[in-house]
Structure 1
């Protein structure tokens, strides 16, 4: 009803599948707006800021200077725009915002081997970017939160590589029993590269000040 077998071990979403994921994405965004509001009242400001961040992250994710054959790519600061949701509103909303972004990525470019693989690759990996929220009120919280968040995503990317894509280790001469080494190396190439570039950007005082200004606007009256 929701998935179509491609005959090569992978699946595609049916029209019902796309509709279901879109509904879940909408529900997550509405939940974010209620969770952020005072006394659990609906907060349009939070919904708008989170939606804009997710939209910017999605646009940036489509700009791929470097893309790997088995998934994963260096993008133009897409992870940053997801992590700032946690930086604004804390870990709960940050994780939900990351999961919403993951759902949108799943709608745009789904790759399905199994339900657990979908959760690890799209929900858990991108949701982990929201753990930046644990550092939202810390000194240099944006940079520290970003670094910790991308390590969270890296953890789930490596886990997925070991469990679901370990067989591809042989293509790189590593052998079936070195799936962990393969996954560690494969995923660090794109997550690490984008992470380094982004941290260099965030170190610039003008950039840091700009993000702090936007945060003040985002959390106003929340």
Structure 2
């Protein structure tokens, strides 16, 4: 489990450099979340949360962290990536990778949303694509949703494309307990 976790975290870090879209104030569209979600579904909640935390730590260290102080570093990296491990709640379930992806990504979005409302409210009012946002709550939903929704969809598409060839892997049927 430990070796597989290290490989999945390393793979996530490598995939995080494939940025299909990048926003000016942090946030990007990458395939990086999928290995963490897959690991969590295979090994369970505790191991998944740990893998998400380690990935968040690597993102903070190596991905050019966009942060406004230690609070932002804590929320947008260490706390935000950890909930990807919630996918582990669906360990061994037939469609667990899909439900786990939605739950893990939604939980990550919630953390980024809280960060946006509490820390990044200093940007208000903010203009995005010609629309001015005076409300930090609405701004945080729009800004963080603009990359988290596509990230969720991308992870679901990857899971669907790999479902047939990796079904035993998703279900953890190859793990000897």
Q: TM-score, normalised by structure 2?
A: 0.89
Match of 1:184 in 2: 141
Aligned partners of 1:218 and 1:116: how far apart in 2? 40
Matched, 1:139 2:98: no
Summarize the Cα distance change of 1:198–1:219 in structure 2 as closer, same or farther, 3 Å threshold: same
Q: Which of 211, 215, 220 in structure 1 is aligned with 2:166?
A: 211
Q: TM-score, normalised by structure 1?
A: 0.72
Summarize the Cα distance change of 1:200–1:123 in structure 2 as closer, same or farther, 3 Å threshold: same
Larger Rg: 1
Q: Which of 47, 50, 53 in structure 1 is aligned with 2:5?
A: 50
| 8 Å CA contact retained: 1:49, 1:218 | no
Q: Which of 50, 62, 69 in structure 2 is aligned with 1:96?
A: 50
Query: Number of matched residues?
Result: 172
| Higher-RCO chain (CA-CA 8 Å, sequence separation at least 6) | 2
Aligned partners of 1:73 and 1:218: how far apart in 2? 33
Summarize the Cα distance change of 1:99–1:151 in structure 2 as closer, same or farther, 3 Å threshold: same
Q: Which of 38, 59, 65 in structure 1 is aligned with 2:14?
A: 59
Segments of structure 1 that go 5 or more residues without pairing to the other structure are: 1-45
**After the TM superposition, which segments of 4 or more aligned residues of structure 1 sit over 4 Å from their partners?**
215-219
Q: Structure 1 residue 74: deviation in Å? A: 0.5
What is the RMSD of the two structures over their aligned residues, measured on CA atoms?
1.8
Summarize the Cα distance change of 1:202–1:112 in structure 2 as closer, same or farther, 3 Å threshold: closer
**Larger helix proportion, structure 1 or 2?**
1
Q: Which of 127, 133, 155 in structure 2 is aligned with 1:198?
A: 155
Segments of structure 2 that go 5 or more residues without pairing to the other structure are: none
Q: Structure 1 residue 220: deviation in Å? A: 2.4
